[in-house]
A and B are shown apart, each in its own frame.
Chain A
Amino acid sequence: MVTPNRANHRRRAAIAGVVAGLVAGGAVGAALLTGAAPPADPALPRPTILHAAPALVTAGAPVELTAATFCAEPGLPSCAISAASAAVRPAGVSGWTEVSGRPDGGAFRFAVPASLVPPDGFSYRLVLRTADGVAIAYPPGGDEAAIRVVTTAGLPVRDLGVIRWDRRRPADEVVLRLPYGSGDGEVGRWGGEGELEAIGPSSFDVGPDGSIAVADWVNRRIQVFGAAGRLREVIASPTTRPVDLALTGDGGYVLSTLGTEATAFEVAAAGGVLGRYPVGFGVATRVAASATGGPRVQVGAAQWAAVRSAPGIPLAGDEQGRTQTTSVPLADGDIGVSADIDGRSFAAVWTRPDGSRGGAVVRLPAGVAPGADYFVHPLADGGAVVAKGVWDDTHFGVIVVRLDARGRIRSTGLLPEPSIEQAARYSTVRYSPAGDVLVVFTEPGGIHIDRFIVR
């Protein structure tokens, strides 16, 4: 039985609830209208946004963007995504157009219409709102952090020709062979039996003098070998986790752990740790040294973010977002980038010595899909060397394409599948300053790094 007092109490409570709901709803509504988000409770888990950016697209064709999230407690309102949108700005236009995200397959898909993809490309950023009303931008950092997409307008289209999986190019030379172990000149290997995935040295890079640095993470060290293959020095690794590694112009090293909540490191040539920098967003997949020496971390396909302002001074996440670029300029300012176009071809673009853009769209044979974007290296003659993964259901190879200044294919070569035991996947294939391609392979009892001369 409900007494009058209880009924009054319930009525008052109901009215108070409605009023509170209207106030709260109005606040949320106002926040949605103005773009201002309610303050996020730092104690609650929040989604990490996972997004692979398209670096190159076809002008005048629709583009589909996708974004997924990861969150520790997916059932909580602070983790659940209630709405998603992309703000898109075509080049030369001042205003942003909102494109709603459609939930599909555990992710959100954003259909950017062809009208927003002019020949000069477009910029975009993503905003995902949680069920408790918090807006999460990707990349962080506001309009300045918008991801820039360029198009293939004006690039010639070339056919790669037939791929013969049974005709791989043999290496021209083994430049380094390292047995497994923990002694000098040996490298560690984790797992490798039963259900234990093997992870050997997690990365390598090659210096201007031909020296090779190997991230021997199992033995917590970096080993540096001279051009003749002799061990030159051993440097303590600043982390116990598998890392990607790159050499800097002054003989130092930049490293980054891989995956979510990554940390980048800057290590002096003599081995001292100059800085540790938390990576503020995305999923770290590789690291490069910027022309100024600091690390830039790839946090998603075609998204490279600086992580420090000066040695030892980290950038906050939104500051990192504002620095992200499609590629990392080389020491001379040149850039090169490649990307899938439609699942059947890839495009490569680069800067020529006169500052103009070179490039080509390369069509793959039927049934072959574009794989990893290892590198696009501009050359002094205006052309470039491109190393790109290619694959089908049962094969994988590395196609090395020599393109001239007009984007014509001068030579191609299919290299064997690199080691599957190196954690930094993109760094299994490296451009050597000598003009060659270096690839790491696994063999019983160790690894070897082979040289392939680009003809």
Chain B
Amino acid sequence: MIQPTNTERKTTIRRPIAPRRIAAAIAIPMLLGAALASSPASATWVDDNCKGSAVELSGWSRAYASAYAQQAVDEGYEWGGGCYKLNDRDDTPNLATDGSGEGADCSGFVFKSWALHQDGSPGYRRWDHDKDIHGPFSTWGYLAPRSGDPFKELSSKSYGATTYMDAFVWRATDYGHIAMVHAEGSGGFDYVIHARNNDVGTTIDYIDYRSLSASKAITRKAWSPECFPKCPTLG
């Protein structure tokens, strides 16, 4: 069985807080907050800029996902992050890649663009761009979907088998990456939209992720039809 590395577990997989930890989760930040109140310089960019929330929806189409993702292009990149300030620039270009700066990483960007739930359950949850959330899935998770996950592997990587906003995920020895198809290209290439890295941020590129031997094609389960939310009623 494929397991994430310890580094990934620590830095990119954020899980729901268990109820018995709520008291500690409230008390510790309160104490820390009181202690740090006299040193405002300790607040991170995320602390200052990520006040977003989320809303439960009855559907989420590929068009919605595409529009959501496009707004993040030219913004920053943050390993394990998930918060965007939509101003067409990287607000924290000089921070370390895990320095509580702007942006999502590749798997967090897919999580938010696909409007997934934090606990991985079915349904649709639109996260504000300035909500700092990564979601529970790393590239390891996308690479080997379990039956209960809100996404699945497609049977083929051919152009006929995929649609826009599906994704290609792959793992090398020590790292992985996932990118969504913004538009199909040719010759194994696609216009992909992805949170790439701390130097170039979130971008659209023309890349051959489709044809890499290590890549797999992944799709969100239960995409809403493109007519959503104004689909004609049958019968």
Residues of A bordering B, CB below 8 Å: 50, 52, 54, 66, 68, 70-75, 105-107, 190-199, 240-242, 258-260, 283, 285, 300-301, 339-340, 343, 369-373, 389, 391, 393-396, 417, 420-421, 425, 444
Q: How far is the CB of B6 from chain A (nearest CB, A)?
A: 10
**B139 touches which one: A195, A394, A444 (CB < 8 A)?**
A195
For residue B185, which residues in chain A have a CB less than 8 angstroms away from its CB? Answer: 52, 301
A301 to B7, CA, bound (A): 39
- Supposing A369-B211, A425-B207 touch, asked if A193 and B189 sit within 8 A by C-beta, the answer is no
- On chain A, the residues within 8 Å of B232 by CB distance are none
Tell me, in angstroms, the Cα distance from A191 to B194 when the chains sit together: 15
Task: Please tell me if B144 contacts chain A, counting CB pairs below 8 Å.
Answer: no
A193 and B186 within 8 A (CB): no
Kindly provide the distance from the CB of B214 to the nearest chain A CB, expressed in whole angstroms. Answer: 7
CB distance from A286 to the nearest CB of B (A): 10
Select which of B183, B196, B197 is within 8 A of A68 by beta carbon: B183
Q: Which B residues between 195 and 212 are near A, CB-CB below 8 angstroms? A: 196-200, 203-208, 211-212
B residues 121-145 near A (Cβ < 8 Å) are: 138-139
* CB contact under 8 A between A241 and B200, given known A394-B213, A396-B213, A417-B213: yes
Closest CB in chain A relative to B163 CB, distance in Å: 5
Mark out the residues of chain B between 82 and 115 whose CB falls within 8 Å of any chain A CB in the assembled complex. 88, 97, 105-107
CB of B53 within 8 Å of the partner chain: no
The 8 Å CB contact of B189, one of A241, A242, A372, A396, is A372
Contact B138 A194 (CB under 8 A): yes
Q: Cβ of B200: which chain A residues have Cβ within 8 Å of it?
A: 241-242, 259
* B71 contacts the other chain (CB 8 A): yes
Tell which of B158, B173, B188, B198 has the most Cβ of chain A within 10 Å. Answer: B188
Interface stretch, picked from B14-22, B25-33, B37-45, B61-69, is: B61-69
Report the bound CA distance from A14 to B164 in whole Å. Answer: 43
Contact partners of B107 in chain A: CB under 8 A: 195
B187 touches A370 (CB 8 A): yes
Q: Could you tell me if A107 and B204 are in contact, using CB atoms closer than 8 angstroms? A: no
The answer to whether the Cβ of B5 comes within 8 Å of any Cβ in the partner chain is yes
Check if A425 sits within 8 Å of B182, measured CB to CB. no
Contact: A193 with B174, CB < 8 Å? yes
B212 surroundings in chain A (CB, below 8 A): 396, 417, 420
Evaluate contact between A396 and B186: CB separation under 8 angstroms: no
Task: Please report B residues at the A interface, Cβ cutoff 8 Å.
Answer: 5, 7-8, 11-12, 62-63, 66-67, 70-71, 73-74, 79-80, 88, 97, 105-107, 138-139, 156-159, 163-165, 170, 172-177, 182-189, 191, 193, 196-200, 203-208, 211-214
Could you name 10 residue pairs across A and B whose Cβ atoms are closer than 8 Å?
A: A52-B186, A107-B184, A192-B174, A195-B106, A197-B177, A198-B175, A199-B197, A260-B73, A371-B187, A395-B213
Given A194-B79, A259-B203, A396-B212: A105 touches B8 (CB 8 Å cut-off): no
Query: Smallest Cβ distance from B160 to chain A, in angstroms?
Result: 8
Residues of A within 8 A of B138 (CB): 194-195
Task: State A285–B205 Cα separation when bound (angstroms).
Answer: 8
The binding surface of chain A is classed by DSSP as loop
Which residues of chain A are within 8 angstroms of B204 by Cβ–Cβ distance?
50, 70, 259-260, 283
Query: Which chain A residue shows the least CB distance to B88?
Result: A72
| Residues of B contacting A301 in the complex (Cβ-Cβ under 8 angstroms) | 185-187, 189, 206
Using Cβ atoms and an 8 Å threshold, which residues of chain A touch B165?
106
- With contacts A50-B182, A52-B185, A389-B188 known, is A195 near B175, CB below 8 A? yes
- Docked CA distance A191–B98 (Å): 12
Q: Which residue of A241, A372, A425 contacts B199 across the interface (Cβ within 8 Å)? A: A241
Given known contacts A70-B73, A72-B74, is B172 in contact with A420 (CB within 8 Å)?
yes
Known: A72-B71, A242-B200, A283-B191. A396 touches B183 (CB 8 A): no
- How far apart sit A421 and B174, CA to CA, in the bound complex (Å)? 12
Report how far A420 CA is from B174 CA in the complex, Å: 13
Contacts of A240 in B (CB 8 A): 199
Give the residues in chain A near B184, CB-CB below 8 Å.
66, 105, 107
User: Contacts of A396 on B, CB cut-off 8 Å?
Assistant: 188, 211-213
Say yes or no: A107-B183 contact (C-beta < 8 A), given A195-B175, A197-B177, A283-B191.
yes
Residues of A within 8 A of B196 (CB): 197
- Give 4 nearest A-B pairs by CB, closest first: A68-B183, A106-B164, A74-B67, A197-B177
B67 touches A75 (CB 8 A): yes
- For B72, give the chain A residue with the smallest CB separation: A72
Q: Is the CB of A372 within 8 A of B172?
A: no
The CA-CA distance from A415 to B8 in the complex, in Å, is 34
Instruction: State how many angstroms separate the Cβ of B7 from the closest Cβ of chain A.
Output: 5
Shortest C-beta distance, A344 to chain B (Å), equals: 11
CB distance from B191 to the nearest CB of A (A): 5
A74–B71 touching, CB < 8 Å: yes
Tell me how far the C-beta of B132 lies from the nearest C-beta in chain A, rounded to whole angstroms: 16
What is the bound-complex CA distance between A73 and B129, given in angstroms? Answer: 13
On chain B, the residues within 8 Å of A66 by CB distance are 183-184
The answer to whether B189 touches A52, judged by C-beta atoms less than 8 angstroms apart, is: yes
Q: B199 to chain A: which residues have CB within 8 Å?
A: 190, 240-242
Smallest beta-carbon distance B232→chain A, Å: 17
Bound: A266/B106 CA distance, A: 32
Given A190-B199, A194-B8, A195-B105, the answer on whether A70 and B70 have CB atoms closer than 8 Å is yes
Residues on A with beta carbons closer than 8 Å to the beta carbon of B187: 301, 339-340, 370-373, 389
Q: Are B12 and A195 in contact (CB under 8 A)?
A: yes
Contact of B70 among A71, A195, A370, A420 (CB under 8 A): A71
> What residues of chain A lie closer than 8 Å to B175, measured between beta carbons?
191-198
A389 to B186, CA, bound (A): 12
- Report the minimum CB–CB distance from A447 to chain B (whole Å): 14
Are B158 and A369 touching (Cβ within 8 A)? Answer: yes
Which B residues lie within 8 Å of A394 (CB)?
A: 213
Q: What is the distance, in angstroms, from A35's C-beta to the closest C-beta of chain B? A: 26
Q: How far is the CA of A417 from the CA of B7 in the complex (A)?
A: 28
A372 and B188 contact, CB distance less than 8 A: yes
- Taking CB atoms, residues of chain B closer than 8 Å to A75 are 67
For the complex, give the distance between the alpha carbons of A199 and B97 in Å.
14
The residue that B211 contacts in the complex, of A50, A190, A391, with Cβ under 8 A, is A391
